[in-house]
Structure 1
C-alpha cells in the first residue's frame, strides 16, 4: 500500500489530489491544509476516496502528529515555500520521504535558493530517507528536459534557455495565475543568470526580447528573470557555461505591477495601519482575485520548454524540448487552469517515480539527477506530452 499525504489545498493541491486519484501506484490519499473546508471541497470533486485534515504547516509538532496519525509513505508538499523546512523537519522526525515543487525562501526576505534544503542532505541520508526537490514544471520538468538533452542529444550542454509562456487570457484587469504573494515576490526580485562560472545580476525584467513560440502561439515578449532551477542545473551539469530563464508578461500585467510597486503595495516589510501591523503584499493578495477562481475564465495555452545548445559529435548543435498545455482542457479534467495543472501533474509523476523505486536514493535530490526517460514517459500518459525539436538553427538569446 502506498499512501500519500498532500499538504496544501490551493490550485496546485487540487490538481495533485485529482491526479493522485488516477495513479495506480497510489492506494490512499489524505489532503491537509490550514483550512480543512478547502480540502473537503476538493475531495467532493473526486470519485476516489480522499480523506481530509487540518494542519498548520508552520507548526512542526502539528505536522508530526498528523504524519504519525496518517502514516503516509510519502509527503507531497504543495503548501507555501516558507513552509518547506518545517515539513522536511516533520518528515525526518517521522521517517517519511518528502517531495515539493518549489524551493524554500524566508518569509521576511524575497530570496529563494537551495542552500537551506541542500543542508538537509546528511540528515536525510542518515535516516535512509529521500527528499525530491522542485518536482513541478519550472522547476521540475525543465530540469528533466535538460537532463534529456544531456543524455540523448548533446555530448556536452553549454547553454540553456528556459522559456515559459502563458499565452492564456482570463479577462481580469489584473490577476496572477498562482499565489499572488509568491508570484510578485518572484517577479520583482533582482534578475540573475549564469555566465562563465558566475552569477550575473541585473535589474528585474530589464532584458526583453521577442520569441516566436511553436504550434501557432506565435511571437511574444519574453523577459529575463531569476528562477531556482538554474542553481541546481549548473551544479549538477557542470558543462553549462550559460543559463537563462525567460517568462512572458503582458503589457497590462507590467503596467499594473509598476503602479503597485510605485505606491508600495509590493513591500514585504510590516507597516502600521490603524494600530495594526500589516504587510502590504499580503494585503494585496487578499484583495486580488483568487487564482483558483480563474479556472473557468481562462482560455488559451501555455508553452514551457528548454532550448539546450552544445556539442554533438564535435559539432555545435541545439535541441528544443517543450510542452504545450490548454487551459480549457485542464479545467474540464480537474477544475483548474493550466498553470496549476503543469505544476501539479509533475508533482504526482515525481511521487510515482519514488513510490515505484524508478527514482530512488538516500538524501536530498534535484530532478536532473535521475534518469529523465521514465519520468517523461509517465508525464505524457498523465496529460503533459513532450515535444522534441532536434537540431535547427543555433538561435542564441542574448
Structure 2
C-alpha cells in the first residue's frame, strides 16, 4: 500500500522493522534511518530478500533540515518516529514541512527537564489539520495499547468508565544486578520523577515510589508495583467521559530499586551537567553509556510481561468491572525478532499504528492520541501480529 520511513534503530525499532516486513501487503517499502547508518545496514542485511523493499539512510534527528531533505528524497507516506522523545518536535516539524503523516510511541520531553507532557505536541494540531496530514501520538503499548484498550472498553463494555488502573508488570529476569529494559536515560528519568494520578478533575502528585501495591498478575503471580506518572493518563483524562480517577502502576524488583536509590544518592541519575576534566558531562548520560544496552538483553531474558487495564464503571445502570490485558513471553519474542518482550510490546503497536495510517483505516487530519480512533481494527491487528489480548469480567481490584 505504501512506504514508511522509520527513524531510529534501537530495540523497539528493530521489532517494528521485523513486523513491517511480515506485513508486506501494507508496507511495500521501508527506509530505516538513524544517526549510525551501520546499524540500519545490519538490520537490512538480516531481513533483505522478502517482499518488503528495504533501504537505509543516515540522519541526525535533531536537525530539521536533514530530516526534511531525507523525507523529500525518500517520499514516504508515513514517518514512524522510533528515535528519542527529545526529537519528537524536530521530526514533527519536518513532517509538516513535507506534508507527511507522523506516528510516534512516546510524548515529547525536553532534554534538560524531566517533564512528560503532551502540550508541546498538541500545539501542532491546527497546523497538521491545515496541512491535511495526521499525527498519531503514543502508538506503543503504554501509551498505545492501553489507550486503545480504554477506547475498546468504552465502546463495547460500558456506558461510562469511572476508574482506570493501568498495570505494567515485567517479570523477566536478565541476570544482571541492574539494567533497564528500554533506553536507560528515558527509563531512569521516568522512574525517578514524582508520581501523579488523575482524580476528580485534577492531578494529585506523589513522591517517587511513594505508593506501593501488591498485585496477583495472571500467569505471573504476586508482584510489588509502584504508582508512577505516565503520559497516557493526561490524554485519557480528556477523552474518557465521566472518568473519576486514572492511575498507572509498574512493577519493580528490590534489586532494581536498591541500585537506583544508590545511584540517586551519589548523583548518577542527575540530568544537570557537571564539569569533569575540563568537559561538560551529564551524569545520567554517562550512566547510560556504562549500563548494558537494552537491545542486548534479548538472549538472556526469561519470563513474561503482563500489561493491561482494569476498568470500573456502569453499563445499563449497573456497576461493572472489566480487565483487558496482554501476556508476552520474553524468549518467544526473542526467538521471533531477536529482542525481548519490552521492545516487542512497543514495536508491534508502532507498526500497527503506522499501518492504520498507511492503509487509510485511520485518516483524520490533525494531531490525535490513539484512543480518539475506532479501536476495533487495532484490536484485531493485535491478535494478528503477536499481541493477543485477554479479558476478565471479575478481576481483583487495586485498593
Question: Is the TM-score greater than 0.5?
Answer: yes
- Give the 5 Å matches for 1:101-180: 101-180=105-184
Q: In the TM superposition, what is the alpha-carbon distance from 1:356 to its structure 2 partner?
A: 1.5
Q: What is the TM-score with the length of structure 2 in the denominator? A: 0.98
For the Cα contact (< 8 Å) 2:306–2:327, is it kept in 1? Answer: yes
Q: Which residue in the other structure is 1:33 paired with?
A: 34
Q: Which residue in the other structure is 1:20 paired with?
A: 20
Give the 3-state SS of the residue equivalent to 1:244 in structure 2: strand
Distance across 2 between alignment mates of 1:239 and 1:115:
22
Q: Which residue in the other structure is 2:221 paired with?
A: 218
Distance across 2 between alignment mates of 1:318 and 1:149:
10
For the Cα contact (< 8 Å) 2:4–2:77, is it kept in 1? Answer: yes
Q: In the TM superposition, what is the alpha-carbon distance from 1:312 to its structure 2 partner?
A: 1.1
Please tell me whether residue 320 in structure 1 is matched to residue 323 in structure 2.
yes
Distance across 2 between alignment mates of 1:41 and 1:57:
20
Q: In the TM superposition, what is the alpha-carbon distance from 1:179 to its structure 2 partner?
A: 0.2
Distance across 2 between alignment mates of 1:330 and 1:37:
24
User: Residues 371-392 of structure 1: CA distance to partner in whole angstroms, max 9, x if unpaired?
Assistant: 1111010111000001011x21
Q: In the TM superposition, what is the alpha-carbon distance from 1:326 to its structure 2 partner?
A: 0.7
Give the 3-state SS of the residue equivalent to 1:319 in structure 2: strand
Distance across 1 between alignment mates of 2:109 and 2:241:
25
Please tell me whether residue 44 in structure 1 is matched to residue 45 in structure 2.
yes
Unaligned runs of 5+ in 2: none
For the Cα contact (< 8 Å) 2:105–2:350, is it kept in 1? Answer: yes
Distance across 1 between alignment mates of 2:397 and 2:55:
49
Cα root mean square deviation, aligned? 0.8
- Give the 5 Å matches for 1:179-198: 179-198=183-202
Q: Which residue in the other structure is 1:309 paired with?
A: 312
Distance across 1 between alignment mates of 2:2 and 2:83:
21
Distance across 2 between alignment mates of 1:392 and 1:383:
25
Distance across 2 between alignment mates of 1:15 and 1:6:
11
Q: Which residue in the other structure is 1:397 paired with?
A: 398
Distance across 1 between alignment mates of 2:111 and 2:336:
34
Aligned residues: 395
Q: After TM superposition, what 4+ stretches of structure 1 lie above 3 angstroms from structure 2?
A: none
Give the 3-state SS of the residue equivalent to 2:46 in structure 1: coil
Distance across 2 between alignment mates of 1:209 and 1:72:
45
For the Cα contact (< 8 Å) 2:310–2:397, is it kept in 1? Answer: no
Distance across 2 between alignment mates of 1:334 and 1:245:
28
Distance across 1 between alignment mates of 2:262 and 2:65:
42
